[in-house]
Chains A and B, each alone.
Chain A
Amino acid sequence: AQSVAQPEDQVKVAEGNPLTVKCTYSVSGNPYLFWYVQYPNRGLQFLLKYITGDNLVKGSYGFEAEFNKSQTSFHLKKPSALVSDSALYFCAVRAVTQAGKSTFGDGTTLTVKP
């Protein structure tokens, strides 16, 4: 079975400071990993994904994530947070062999204070 853990329900940072939203996963075999963002009363929006290759993945709005196979982690990062980054962030995993079935974490609420 595959699973995702987002250990922090909430992350709070000041505008201009770096941010990290943590994600660890468990799958059999190699993973596809994704980050999505959800604003209030909206659907989820894709930010970035890791398929294979370079462990550092760059995505939309200045976000990036680092795949660490030994630690089974895929943390989301941004060098300088904006107030508009405040939202709910979801990490998702899909085992390469589990076609179609993405498992989502419980989400982390990011609050960026002015």
Chain B
Amino acid sequence: DAGVIQSPRHEVTEMGQEVTLRCKPISGHNSLFWYRQTMMRGLELLIYFNNNVPIDDSGMPEDRFSAKMPNASFSTLKIQPSEPRDSAVYFCASSLGSWRGAGELFFGEGSRLTVL
């Protein structure tokens, strides 16, 4: 059974460029989460969706960040323009059941972003 699939696994870009990270959740999971991991700040929840609808984006750092979920099997996290402080590992996770439930998170392998 395929897990959460993220692409690209590694991205190196220059400051000011647009970055798009992609995620395919586990089939049948109806909650999707984007996290960012850094040494300084640990794991931060950026945004989460339930049934393709954004529920809470209060963790998105600023307007340069945007996320979409056009259908149940695909989500994107976009950074435009990118800055060096955006360098981090970005994780997508999905969960079965209601976002109000106690379902555990299934994480992808992450996308390591380096902004020069």
List the interface of chain A (C-beta within 8 A of B).
32, 34, 36, 41-46, 49, 51, 90, 94, 96, 99-107
Q: Mark B78-116, 1 if CB is under 8 A from A, else 0.
A: 000000000000010100001111101111111000000
- A44 with B91: in contact, given A49-B104, A51-B102, A104-B42 (CB under 8 Å)? yes
Judged by a CB distance under 8 angstroms, whether B50 is at the interface is yes
Q: What are 20 A-B interface contacts by the 8 Å CB criterion?
A: A34-B104, A36-B107, A41-B109, A41-B110, A42-B109, A42-B110, A43-B4, A46-B104, A46-B106, A51-B102, A96-B102, A100-B33, A100-B48, A100-B50, A100-B55, A100-B100, A102-B45, A102-B105, A106-B42, A107-B42
- Cβ–Cβ < 8 Å partners of B12 in chain A: none
CB distance from B103 to the nearest CB of A (A): 9
Task: State whether A100 touches B104 (Cβ < 8 A).
Answer: no
Q: Among the listed A46, A51, A94, A104, which residue makes an inter-chain contact with B43, where contact means beta carbons less than 8 Å apart?
A: A104
Interface residues of B toward A: which range? 20 to 34
Judged by a CB distance under 8 angstroms, whether B56 is at the interface is yes
Tell me the nearest residue of chain A to B112, going by C-beta: A41
List the interface of chain B (C-beta within 8 A of A).
4, 31, 33, 42-43, 45, 48, 50, 55-56, 91, 93, 98-102, 104-110
CB distance from B112 to the nearest CB of A (A): 8
Tell me the nearest residue of chain B to A35, going by C-beta: B104
Tell me the nearest residue of chain A to B99, going by C-beta: A100
Tell me the nearest residue of chain A to B101, going by C-beta: A99
CB distance from B20 to the nearest CB of A (A): 19
Given contact pairs A49-B104, A99-B101, a sample of 20 additional A-B residue pairs in the complex whose CB atoms are under 8 Å apart: A32-B102, A34-B105, A41-B110, A43-B4, A43-B91, A43-B93, A43-B107, A43-B108, A43-B110, A44-B91, A44-B93, A51-B102, A96-B102, A99-B98, A100-B33, A100-B55, A101-B45, A102-B105, A103-B45, A105-B42
